[in-house]
Amino acid sequence: MIRETLILFVVLTSVVLPTISSQLPATDVYKIELDANQQPAVIYFMNDYNVGKYNNQPSFINDTEVLLTSEFNDGNTDVIKWNLRYNSYRRLTSTVENEYSPKILNKSSFLVVRQEEDGKTQSLWSYPNDLSNSGSRLFKDFDNIGYFQPLSNFKIALFTLEGENSPLYIGNLRNETTIKISDSVGRCFQKSKKGELIFMEKQKSGKFRIKSYNTINQQIDDSAQGLDGSQDFCLFGPREDLLMAVGPEIFRFNRNSNSWILWQDLAKFGILNITRISSLDNTLLIVNNRP
């Protein structure tokens, strides 16, 4: 059963999703607003409602709304919608299952990875944005979905868990068919303004390279070498520059020198272990693992 909760308050990573019986890491989410020089102007601690619990996978809906995974007192993870303008949230799901990695699909629905009651099955679910029903499962032949990325109203990238590998599939919602495009990828996906899928592919050396997949001609192009110690990146700014973080430091990829340049060091703000970054315009959402 889905329910809605509205709460107002005063301003202030492994690849496999954790099983129900395992303890989730304590993570915090920060909103960082950048000034005209792209330096932090405002830093806002978002999860004052569940300090010391799990908060992860922030995903922008638009410039004022964000979807987020949060752990509540019952120990389950559910989806909330954050309003960045009013610094308030609404709880979208309250289920016996665990929901992770929420992302908007279209004006009608959002998607999540749902860990079923058996603690093993990980499936993709669609919920209506107006919460008018309890949602439906997609790609029923897949019970090992770890992460995903909507590419259009009917195309979705699927990260699956198959033994030691993590293949990448492109799924078609119209007929639930899939095609494999890589045998082993990282957990992070982004959709570019051109509609391309940006992802990290694992090399034989164990290192990751960032690549782009054209959904029209199915061509894969190489973009950059990933930073050691990180599997997460995001696209930033009008040029869609690549950002990656290691510890408290955020690096920006320089296309001219084909190298990563230190861009921000957030240690002075007490942010020491960045595990995820999401961006829209001059706003960053940072996930920080607590020590």
State the chain's maximal CA–CA distance in angstroms.
52
Domain 5-12+23-229 = CATH 1.10.10.1100:
no
Beta bridge partners of 202: 208
On the question of pLDDT at 12 being above 70, the answer is no
On the question of pLDDT at 4 being above 50, the answer is no
Which pLDDT belongs to residue 133?
93
Rounded to 5 degrees, what angle do the CA atoms 76, 147, 17 make? 40
Which pLDDT belongs to residue 93?
95
Q: What is the mean pLDDT of residues 193-202?
A: 96
Beta bridge partners of 150: 156
> What are the residue ranges spanned by the domains of the chain?
5-12+23-229
Element (H, E) at 160: strand 155-160
Quote the percentage of the chain above a pLDDT of 70: 92
pLDDT in tens, 22-53: 589 999 999 999 999 999 999 999 999 999 99
Query: What is the pairing mode between strands 197-202 and 77-83?
Result: unpaired
- Distance between CA atoms of 235 and 252, rounded to whole angstroms? 10
Rounded to 5 degrees, what angle do the CA atoms 266, 14, 115 make? 120
Element (H, E) at 197: strand 197-202
Q: What is the mean pLDDT of residues 209-234?
A: 95
pLDDT in tens, 130-184: 999 999 999 999 999 999 999 999 999 999 999 888 999 999 999 999 999 999 9
On the question of pLDDT at 252 being above 60, the answer is yes
In the predicted model, what is the mean pLDDT of the chain?
A: 91
pLDDT in tens, 53-72: 999 999 999 999 999 999 99
